[in-house]
Structure 1
Amino acid sequence: MAQLSLKGRALKYLAAREHSRVELRRKLGPHAESAEQVDALLDELESLGFLSAQRFADSVVHRKAARFGAARVQAELAQHRLPDDIAREAIQALRDTEFARAHAVWLRRFGEPASEPTERVRQSRFLAGRGFSPEVIRRVVRGDGLRDESASS
């Protein structure tokens, strides 16, 4: 079986899904003769538009937003060392929809406000583990979303 060139391997990865520069460097490193060779290839892919930090951030947000809060997505974006303005813009968009997304996650899992304090704590921990903000968690667990929906119906 023929070995893929470094560029071929990079394009294969990018055809499957968006990758960050950091992630692609890590995957290509073992197959390159030097780190400079990988960096030159990544520069070329960026100049051709095959590698984009903005598209990668959008991809992560699209994949994770329905299940996770802004803090969790922000942590994932930080691991990929994206430019600050791109990461900040993506996270701000998530913060604007945080309550609705948290409420949808909570509704799928629990469906009704907790009647006991231990259950409220359990629901809060569940949402906190998914990276939602404390204020949003308090509102969701109190059942604010249920009142908002019934008022608008």
Structure 2
Amino acid sequence: MPAPVLSLKARALRYLSLREHSRLELGRKLARYAEEGDDVEALLDFLEKNNWLSQERFAESLIHRKASRFGNSRVMAELQSHGVSSEALADIKAGLADSETARAVEVWRRKFGTVAIDAAGRAKQMRFLLQRGFSQRAARVAMQGAPDDDDM
């Protein structure tokens, strides 16, 4: 017996029950299944009105998943690619800036743990942190080694 065909609303709720989605991302996923006469934008408006779809919750969820491994620029680029508004991005960036150095130190400590002795090793560590989206300032601080607890 074949599985029943889900309505667009049921499919949207199923996606949202698995994890938070941005409006743009959910619209793309639902557009694949939209048939003649289905209005995806009206469904997205309905979901937002009932607070089942929320850009704020999506941004918080993405930050929670990514911030411990990536720097500000990488997290901000991913939020921007998901269609988060520029006003929200400014607020998020200000909140992430406070913890970027500490996150860079933690990522560096998990990956390397010791300060590189030669220039090639330092370059490798710097490239790693920069590719993860950390600023040069945060990467330099992280590569100096783990600061003592008294300094923090």
TM-score range relative to shorter protein: over 0.9
Alpha-carbon distance, 1:151 to partner: 3.9
**Structure 1 residue aligned with 2:97:** 95
Alpha-carbon distance, 1:152 to partner: 4.8
Alpha-carbon distance, 1:45 to partner: 0.2
Alpha-carbon distance, 1:79 to partner: 0.3
What are the residue-to-residue correspondences of 1:2-151 with 2, within 5 Å? 2-33=4-35, 37-143=39-145, 146=146, 148-149=147-148, 151=150
Cα distance change, pair 93–34 in 1 and its aligned pair in 2 (3 A): farther
Q: Tell me, which stretches of 5 or more residues in structure 2 are unaligned?
A: none
Cα distance change, pair 34–59 in 1 and its aligned pair in 2 (3 A): farther
Tell me, in whole angstroms, the C-alpha distance in 2 between the residues paired with 1:115 and 1:35. Answer: 65
Alpha-carbon distance, 1:35 to partner: 8.8
Residue type of the partner of 2:105?
H
Alpha-carbon distance, 1:34 to partner: 5.4
Contact 1:29–1:35, Cα closer than 8 Å, also in 2: no
Percentage identity across paired residues of the two chains: 47
Tell me, in whole angstroms, the C-alpha distance in 1 between the residues paired with 2:36 and 2:135. Answer: 43
Tell me, in whole angstroms, the C-alpha distance in 2 between the residues paired with 1:150 and 1:92. Answer: 25
Residue type of the partner of 1:122?
K
After the TM superposition, list the runs of 4 or more consecutive aligned residues in structure 1 that deviate by more than 6 angstroms.
Answer: none
Alpha-carbon distance, 1:13 to partner: 0.2
Tell me, in whole angstroms, the C-alpha distance in 2 between the residues paired with 1:122 and 1:116. Answer: 10
Q: How many residues align?
A: 150
Alpha-carbon distance, 1:33 to partner: 2.5
Tell me, in whole angstroms, the C-alpha distance in 2 between the residues paired with 1:121 and 1:22. Answer: 38
Tell me, in whole angstroms, the C-alpha distance in 2 between the residues paired with 1:35 and 1:94. Answer: 43
Give the match's secondary structure for 1:31: coil
Residue type of the partner of 1:134?
Q
Alpha-carbon distance, 1:101 to partner: 0.3
Q: Compute the RMSD of aligned alpha carbons.
A: 1.6
